[in-house]
Amino acid sequence: MAELLSNPSLYTDFNALAELRHRAIADKNKAVGEVAQQFEALMIQMMLKEMRNASPKSEFFDTEGMRVYQDLQDKQVSLEMAKRNTLGVAQFI
């Protein structure tokens, strides 16, 4: 938990890609690990989205605002899960 607080990352951090490019120039092995972690986050995000689409919808909670909020939440949750190697895809890659 302390690691998450000391090194916060949001999926809306657009400067992270530029920083990753600079780190890749300096240390390619470390950059490969970070890219693998981002791939795992993307995969988890897609899984969460498909699970939401497969579940029944409620007429009370199926508004545009709720869908936007759930999308934001899914993106952030997927990043946090990937950081913790929940599925282990990044380690496998």
Torsion sign across C-alpha atoms 2, 77, 41, 18? negative
Q: Given CA atoms 29, 41, 73, 4 in this order, what sign does their dihedral have? A: negative
pLDDT tens digits along 38-53? 888 889 999 999 998 8
| Boundaries of every domain in the chain | 12-92
What pLDDT score does 39 carry? Answer: 86
Q: Identify the segments of the chain with pLDDT beneath 50.
A: 1-8
One-character DSSP codes across 60-92: TT-SHHHHHHHHHHHHHHHHHHHHTTSS-HHHH
